[in-house]
Amino acid sequence: MTTMHTTTLPTTDDVRARVRDALRAVGSTAELAGPGEYGLPASTPITGEVLFTMAATTPEQADAAIAEAAQAFTTWRTTPAPVRGALVARLGELLVEHKADLATLVTIEAGKITSEALGEVQEMIDICQFAVGLSRQLYGKTIASERPGHRLMETWHPLGVVGVITAFNFPVAVWSWNTAIALVCGDTVVWKPSELTPLTALACQALIERAADDVGAPRGVSRVIQGDREVGELLVDDPRVALVSATGSVRMGQQVGPRVMARFGKVLLELGGNNAAIVTPSADLDLAVRAIVFSAAGTAGQRCTTLRRLIVHSSVADELVSRIVAAYRSLPIGDPSAEGTLVGPLIHETAYREMVGALEQARADGGEVFGGERHDLGDESAFYVAPAVVRMPAQTELVHTETFAPILYVMTYDDLDEAIALNNTVPQGLSSAIFTTDIREAERFMAADGSDCGIANVNIGTSGAEIGGAFGGEKHTGGGRESGSDAWKAYMRRATNTINYSSDLPLAQGVHFG
């Protein structure tokens, strides 16, 4: 399969200049050194080169950041919620002002095409707007009491320091989901970003500090610590951190969850996704092809919501696969900052090796592979690949495993119950979709015995969630919910209150104690 691609990449010096300009624009004064001078490298998948190095956070510095956040919490929790919302409102204004600057850094560090990088920053703006409204809607409940002269109610209170651990593929949006909601809930935040995306974290920290200064909030409400796994473990194990919100692999979640719960902390886990879409005989194939290609090939297959499994009715499978392969051939691959590019690079060589290994295993399992070849754009350190379509004879163990690369496995079905079973049979449970014009099929897919995923869509792909709905999944995806709806409750503690305004003391359940 031959795909379009750009032929030239920017020079590393050019990319370095873009980084410096963007950081300067947002107000970051962080020190950046040349390659090899400090321990934490800041690289770009565009060229595969190290752009700068920076100092990783020491254990002593991490302890100080957590202590500062814990101290700030003692005053932030009693700050009226609408006043806390003013900080998030100001952050949103700064994000609007610096949308292009931050998107530039997202493209450089994560390899996202410009449109997707701008979309990620827009998601940050959207969640700020949502959180500002939420700051006046942290509602409790009044509950009917069985005792005369009594009122029973629920109230919600700030939880404490929230530790946020994020992954490279959404280097700024996931931080904002957690931070905007946590701040209006009265919590403070300590963020450990992916070691692959330290530059975007520097920019976000500069903006939140500017926002805090502008509205008179303590800077300690949001801190950032940088480094590898050991730095993240400091958040996981510290009893001052009330909630750890961690985004990453299932393996990471299996380690984080028990450690936090062992000290009776709370966890919010957003882990792997092995997402499927069902295409029925009644589906609008024109619409389905557009949605499938974006969901499967966008961000070079490096989203947690990427479409990885396509479950197609046997009567339309040949036509649909042919159209997807043709669409893949037309996708421009190359420099994600170049106009017209639709598929950027994989994050690093390990991701490429895992993709190659998965395709080799697919062939060994009897799969027919279209695409997946590497494109040589003149730099051996950068890894640009064509998205792959693989027709599989069955849903093998390989298909049950999430490979973070643009591989779409295609399987066929004849009965809708069979298709739903295939959707549900993998360990992950993040996102799912069905393409159909039959309302009974759509409703069946969304029913209690339909898709077992946290997200179940009809006639759209598996990716591109809006911030108004709670985001997250079931099973090995971790069960956490972030962003909209009532996801804010994870960042607060619930208190049940009983108020006796009578002069008697009746006991519940008719108990007499005389």
68-123 tens-digit pLDDT: 999 999 999 999 999 999 999 999 999 999 999 999 999 999 999 999 999 999 99
Q: Can you tell me the distance from the alpha carbon of 290 to that of 507, in angstroms, rounded to the nearest whole number?
A: 63
Inform me whether the pLDDT recorded for 3 exceeds 80.
Answer: no
pLDDT score, position 213: 98
Residue with tokens 């027919």: 368
Q: Where are the beta strands (DSSP E) in 2-136?
A: 40-43, 50-54
Q: What's the pLDDT band for 514 if we cut at 50, 70, 90?
A: confident
Local structure of 69: helix, strand or coil: helix
The full DSSP string for 325-355 is: HHHHHT--BS-TTSTT--B---SSHHHHHHH
Spatial contact of 206 and 97, defined as CB atoms under 8 Å apart: no
**CATH number of 275-466, picked from 3.40.50.1820, 3.40.309.10, 3.40.630.10, 3.40.50.720:** 3.40.309.10
Query: Tell me: the pLDDT tens digits for 413-454?
Result: 999 999 999 999 999 999 999 999 999 999 999 999 999 999
What global pTM score does this model have? 0.97
Q: What is the DSSP letter of 21?
A: H
**What was the pLDDT predicted at 5?**
67
pLDDT at 2: 63
pLDDT at 191 over 80: yes
Rounded Cα–Cα distance for residues 52 and 16 (Å): 8
DSSP 8-state code for residue 33 = B
CB of 332 closer than 8 Å to CB of 375: no
pLDDT band at 379 (very low <50, low <70, confident <90, very high): confident
User: Average per-residue pLDDT in the chain?
Assistant: 97
What are the structure tokens assigned to 124, written together? 């940050």
Give dist(CA 204, CA 221) in Å, integer: 13
The residue from 270, 402, 441, 482 that is catalytic is: 270
Catalytic-role residue among 128, 185, 204, 304: 304
- What is the rounded CA–CA span in Å between residue 385 and residue 260? 38
Judge whether residue 36 has pLDDT over 70: yes
Angle at CA 399, nearest 5°, toward 394 and 404? 155
d(CA 90, CA 79) in angstroms, rounded, equals 16
Q: Tokens in use for 263?
A: 């000290």
Instruction: Read off the tokens for 82.
Output: 């609408």
Residue ranges of the domains in the chain? 12-271+478-494, 275-466
Overall fold of domain 12-271+478-494 = Aldehyde Dehydrogenase; Chain A, domain 1 (3.40.605)
* CA atoms of 367 and 460, how far apart (whole Å): 26
- In this prediction, residue 39 carries a pLDDT of 87
Q: Do domains 12-271+478-494 and 275-466 have the same CATH topology?
A: no
Q: What is the pLDDT of residue 447?
A: 98
Helix 229-237 × helix 250-262 angle, to 10°: 30
Q: Cα–Cα distance between 438 and 434 in angstroms, integer?
A: 10
pLDDT of residue 7: 64
Q: Is 403 helix (H, G, I), strand (E, B) or coil?
A: coil
Q: Which of 379, 57, 74 is nearest to 232 (CA)?
A: 57
What digits encode the pLDDT tens for the residues 462-479?
A: 999 899 999 999 999 999
453 annotated active-site:
no
